[in-house]
Amino acid sequence: MNIIIILAIVALAVMVLVSLVRGLVAFIQMTEEDLKSPGVGRSHQMQNKMMFARVKYQAMAIAAVAVLMLVNR
């Protein structure tokens, strides 16, 4: 049981890292035109999408750590 939870934590940590890198890449690729255009551009949408994904995966990883702590109590 512990190994499954630990593997889930590692997988979630990798997913956090991937969504962080994808968000940073979207930020780096943002052009001045994206900043000056009215409304929400594609780059902003991608940044927001990756931010929410990262927060979601971090919350899931914290929950998995809590479950691991409860199981090993």
Higher pLDDT, 32 or 70: 70
**47, burial (CB in 10 Å: exposed 0-12, middle 13-18, buried 19+):** buried
Phi first, then psi: what are they for 35, rounded to 5°?
A: -70, -35
Give the chain's domain count.
1
pLDDT of residue 25: 93
pTM over 0.85: no
Q: Which domain holds residue 26?
A: 2-30+39-71
- Tens of pLDDT along 17-61? 999 999 999 889 887 877 777 878 788 888 999 999 999 999 999
